[in-house]
Structure 1
Amino acid sequence: MPKNIILIMTDQQRADSLGCTGNPVVNTPNIDALAACGAVFRQHFTPHQICSPSRSTLFSGLYARNHGLTRNGVALPGDLPLITHDLKEASYRTHGVGKFHFQPILAGLEHAMPDSNAFWKLPESDGWNGPFYGFDTVDILIGESVSATEGGHYAQWLNETAPDAAALYLPENALEPQAGDMDEVWKSAIPSELHYNTWITDRARDFVRDQDKEQPFFLFVSYPDPHHPFAPPAPWCDMYDPNDVPAPALRPDELSDMPSYILDGDREETGKSYVEFLRNPGPPREQGFMQTTQRFSETSLRQAIAHTYGMVSMIDNCIGRLMAQLETSGLAEDTLIIFTSDHGELLGDHGLIRKGPSPYRSLLHVPLIMAGPGIAPGERNTITSHLDLRATLQDYIGLRSQPTDGHSFQPLLSDRDAPARSELFAEYHPRTRMDTYNQTLMTGDWRITIYPENPEWGELFHLLNDPGEHINLFFEPKYSARKQNFIERMAREFPAAAQAGGPSLATY
């Protein structure tokens, strides 16, 4: 069994964005090398397609309705047991670097939350680096892209190292003029050596280098990319030709058969763009900023995809540097490496971009790679979930079992054919429009989504015939018996909980 654990998490990365998961264009040699010697979980999902709920579920092993962080803008309870607490009880040294998102970025000064920008204006932030949710120490980055320079350890470091560099993240200082139809796509002028991905990697390497080999450690390395805006620095912004990236998967007029809020929201949208929101938030907006791509040219959308691939390759390069440090420190043989993401990105599929209430596989399906002692190499094709990771680590390392909503898939680590879950539930708690609250049941063959607050909406996809989820069968009479069976199962096993969760403290 491993002595150490490194959990690497990206933000908003699709399962199909790696060479080892079948992407024909993106270059990810270091992650692919991990995959070659480890387990690649090809059917791994998150039960929540929004950042904070998904991250909190992975660490707690609980659905958002049970851990309380049901939507961005809510704080994870400080007394909730997490995998970090399990490991501390087993004498692990725990450290985290990068984006946590356990607390609202915009929480007010009165809350004194280190995961918020306001905290870093308080006297108590001076010299603070933990403890934090079971981490002994942390190096915190808050937000992504243009919002990553406001608070946290990275913002402090950047201001001390290069006082004027924060402005280089802004789109008006881009290396090239932006396209006029998509303000989230630009080539960032921040030098790679000052970029937050590099800073995260350097802090993680320093931690590995300085470890006492007698004490096991848990290291969380969390990159904010490839979350939108689509703005990598050079050379990563020029790594992929937009003409070479795969086109988004969509069927003509497919959204007309989907819940009406998808198109209605796009037609009614008159508020700020996401970049404007980051710089001056204002009133609450629905999480994810999902919208159709009808306002964007094919050139701009392809550039967004190419920049996403560039961000993925930059992270891959960073992971290679971290793995090299692990080898140099003589710790590689005793360390379990886990690579995953909190949720995915629509990236043009279905004629949509970013994320939102509808739980498409583009959002719920995320990468999971585990490599280390006792893990048999190869693909796993049974369903696994973020909900299961805490229980799995408890079993794998031999920790005292703690109750969770998940199921350990530890047998799959050594036996590729071991039995595992055959289905999963998912749930979305909205921030502004309560009728978009939804629940999902996914099996190997089907995905059904219901909207308890609006029975006129629903989604049903036959995944064997329609793996891309383009043909909504929810109101087709020939599937009414199957649909009703699924609905009754959800009512029994995962009843609606639209009002669950803690109080909203901020809009983000």
Structure 2
Amino acid sequence: MKPKNLIFICTDQMRFDALSATGNKVVRTENIDRIASEGITLRRHHTPNQICSPSRASMATGLYPRHHGLWRNGVTLDPDLPNLWTLLSQAGYETHAVGKLHYQPLLASSSLNMPESIAFWDRPDAQRWSGPYYGFREVELVMGEANESVKAGHYAAWLKAHHPEAVRLYEPEASANGRAADLTEVWKSAVPQELHYTSWIAGRAVDFIREASANAPFCLYVSFPDPHHPFAPPAPYSDLFDPAEMPRPNARAGELDRMPSYLQIGDDPTKDAYIGDGQAVREQGFLLRTDSISERTMATAIAHTFGMIKMIDDCVGRILDALEQAGKSGDTYILFTSDHGELLGDHGLLRKGPPPYRQLLQVPLLVRGPKIPRGAVTDELTSHIDLFATFASLLVGEKPASDGMDLTPLLTGLPGFSRDYLFAEYHPRKDAELYNQTIVSKDWRFTRYPNRGEWGELFDLASDPFEHRNLFYDDGHDTPVRDLDDVLSRHMPPRPEIPNEVLGAY
């Protein structure tokens, strides 16, 4: 039997309902929706961690962060750990990645010689490096989002070499409209869309598909840094959606009063979401409360997010068309997902951070390929930790050891898959008391804070699917709290300290 190919498409900070196939009533993601209509939509898919690097490492290794060691941004993933890319490369696959990987810290010291660190790209020979890397025989890196993307990586080197005049156009000062005063991460990028990194990633992916050997199967990992903040798409995507017509965030008056008290304080929306030299440490995700952000600015952030989603959709269309033109559609699995979600004003919060709300943990997962029924939908609980086992099974018939489950029966319409619980765990950058552990069942989401026993979160997902009323402090819910806490303790006892050195803020 001829080996099958894999195109693994990952975005950054895209929540479950970002696509028209999964509930977006504003953006028509007709290209990504093709994967859903020709394959399966997994409607209750989750990440085990709402921060970039830990989640991405879980997708690759099939392990919880406590087991793969990349427990927060700023830590590196052990390249000797088994992962999907290495397994496929060893099985004869041509493995290639383009875009954001984030297995190493951006701010690691130059002495560590890490290709995903900004310091690495100060080396005179850096531009000649392209791998191998974590099982990929060749990589083409985009590092950072918006104006951060021009500091290092293959894309930055390409832009500086071929379009140096465009580098400054990434800065908010180049925008004709400037940036919003009450949320400085909102502006219209002046970069021409054809030079933007989202377009560059799609172009490099298309080139790889066209040039891929006919004699070997391939695995192509395509990773878009957007729709991660800053909220700064280029034209025409910055103008596709009228802020005045955007849906209002899904928030309820007083709902944060029922949550752990740390949510009474958020990051400063007038600060950039990074930690510069000499700045005080800030918590992961740079979580914001939206109290001081005007409705107009918040609506613009939503409109710009939708613009970024549409730009990604157009680029996915280019990739799907190239695959079809190459005559490889029938032999290729295509997966679309995101590392984690975005609050986007829901609960009166923006960006991401410690609270494991549904908007952060639940992400899209669409899969198309051989033997997958067209237009299938499932509400079974699935996780990023399942992807290694699943595609090792589908592509090379192996069953690697992992924390996850093989989703092959679920994807192909066969019996044999069932799961009662999912788990998630957040390790903080700054405050140890924010360490939290989560269990999700079909009916409940329960979160505990082992270093602050008086904090907790309990949501009845049947009556409150968007998690507005925390029942943890209410009388009458002792039984679900006790039962879920017991299951969590059996499967994931508290482990606030992970022995892997922090090499940078992120």
- Provide the residue aligned with 1:96 in structure 2: 97
1:101-124 Cα offsets, whole Å, 9 max, x none, are 000011110111001111011234
Mapped to 2, the partners of 1:279 and 1:158 lie a distance apart of 24
Deviation at 1:33, TM superposition (A): 1.4
Mapped to 2, the partners of 1:36 and 1:327 lie a distance apart of 16
Mapped to 2, the partners of 1:229 and 1:128 lie a distance apart of 29
Q: Percent identity?
A: 48
* Letter matched to residue 180 of structure 1: A
Deviation at 1:372, TM superposition (A): 1.1
- Provide the residue aligned with 1:424 in structure 2: 422
Contact 1:74/1:503, CA 8 A, preserved across alignment:
yes
Deviation at 1:175, TM superposition (A): 3.1
- Provide the residue aligned with 2:364 in structure 1: 367
Contact 2:10/2:224, CA 8 A, preserved across alignment:
yes
- Provide the residue aligned with 2:481 in structure 1: 483
Deviation at 1:272, TM superposition (A): 6.9
Deviation at 1:502, TM superposition (A): 1.1
Contact 1:90/1:399, CA 8 A, preserved across alignment:
no
Contact 1:69/1:501, CA 8 A, preserved across alignment:
no
- Provide the residue aligned with 1:205 in structure 2: 206
Deviation at 1:420, TM superposition (A): 2.5
Contact 1:37/1:371, CA 8 A, preserved across alignment:
yes
Mapped to 2, the partners of 1:430 and 1:158 lie a distance apart of 35
Mapped to 2, the partners of 1:115 and 1:129 lie a distance apart of 11
Q: Indicate how the Cα distance of structure 1 residues 249 and 318 shifts in structure 2: closer, same or farther if over 3 A, else same.
A: same
Q: TM-score, normalised by structure 2?
A: 0.97
Q: Indicate how the Cα distance of structure 1 residues 77 and 63 shifts in structure 2: closer, same or farther if over 3 A, else same.
A: same
Contact 1:447/1:462, CA 8 A, preserved across alignment:
yes
1:307-354 Cα offsets, whole Å, 9 max, x none, are 000000000000111111111111111111000000000000000000
Q: Indicate how the Cα distance of structure 1 residues 252 and 271 shifts in structure 2: closer, same or farther if over 3 A, else same.
A: closer
Q: Indicate how the Cα distance of structure 1 residues 270 and 384 shifts in structure 2: closer, same or farther if over 3 A, else same.
A: closer
* Letter matched to residue 355 of structure 2: S
Residue 439 of structure 1 pairs with residue 437 of structure 2: yes
* Letter matched to residue 320 of structure 2: M
Mapped to 2, the partners of 1:180 and 1:81 lie a distance apart of 46
- Pick from 297, 302, 309 the counterpart of residue 300 of structure 1: 297
- Provide the residue aligned with 1:415 in structure 2: 413
The 5-angstrom pairing of residues 98-117 of structure 1 reads 98-117=99-118
Deviation at 1:284, TM superposition (A): 2.5
The 5-angstrom pairing of residues 335-374 of structure 1 reads 335-374=332-371
- Provide the residue aligned with 1:79 in structure 2: 80
* Letter matched to residue 253 of structure 1: G
Contact 1:2/1:373, CA 8 A, preserved across alignment:
no
In structure 1, runs of 5+ residues without a counterpart are: none
1:76-127 Cα offsets, whole Å, 9 max, x none, are 1121111011111211110000000000011110111001111011234141
Mapped to 2, the partners of 1:304 and 1:405 lie a distance apart of 37
- Provide the residue aligned with 1:387 in structure 2: 385
1:10-60 Cα offsets, whole Å, 9 max, x none, are 000011011111211112110111211010111110010000000000000
- Provide the residue aligned with 1:171 in structure 2: 172
Q: Indicate how the Cα distance of structure 1 residues 281 and 422 shifts in structure 2: closer, same or farther if over 3 A, else same.
A: farther
* Letter matched to residue 128 of structure 1: W
Deviation at 1:227, TM superposition (A): 0.1
Mapped to 1, the partners of 2:268 and 2:159 lie a distance apart of 35
- Provide the residue aligned with 1:313 in structure 2: 310
Mapped to 2, the partners of 1:368 and 1:112 lie a distance apart of 34
Mapped to 1, the partners of 2:489 and 2:197 lie a distance apart of 44
- Provide the residue aligned with 1:13 in structure 2: 14
SS state at 1:396 partner: helix
- Report the number of matched residues: 504
Mapped to 1, the partners of 2:331 and 2:45 lie a distance apart of 25
* Letter matched to residue 87 of structure 1: L
SS state at 2:226 partner: coil
- Provide the residue aligned with 2:194 in structure 1: 193
Q: TM-score, normalised by structure 1?
A: 0.97
- Provide the residue aligned with 1:451 in structure 2: 449
Mapped to 1, the partners of 2:99 and 2:461 lie a distance apart of 36
SS state at 1:147 partner: helix
Deviation at 1:495, TM superposition (A): 0.2
* Letter matched to residue 251 of structure 1: R
* Letter matched to residue 154 of structure 2: H
Q: Indicate how the Cα distance of structure 1 residues 501 and 174 shifts in structure 2: closer, same or farther if over 3 A, else same.
A: farther
Mapped to 1, the partners of 2:3 and 2:411 lie a distance apart of 13
Deviation at 1:278, TM superposition (A): 6.4
Mapped to 1, the partners of 2:180 and 2:129 lie a distance apart of 41
* Deviates further, 281-290 or 431-440: 281-290
- Provide the residue aligned with 1:257 in structure 2: 258
Contact 1:39/1:370, CA 8 A, preserved across alignment:
yes
Deviation at 1:270, TM superposition (A): 6.0
1:225-273 Cα offsets, whole Å, 9 max, x none, are 000000000000001111222211111010011000111x32xx56971
SS state at 1:16 partner: helix
* Letter matched to residue 497 of structure 2: Q
Deviation at 1:162, TM superposition (A): 1.1
1:185-211 Cα offsets, whole Å, 9 max, x none, are 111000001100011111111111111
Deviation at 1:129, TM superposition (A): 0.2
Deviation at 1:2, TM superposition (A): 5.7
SS state at 1:383 partner: strand
Q: Indicate how the Cα distance of structure 1 residues 108 and 310 shifts in structure 2: closer, same or farther if over 3 A, else same.
A: same
Mapped to 2, the partners of 1:324 and 1:7 lie a distance apart of 16
* Letter matched to residue 80 of structure 1: L
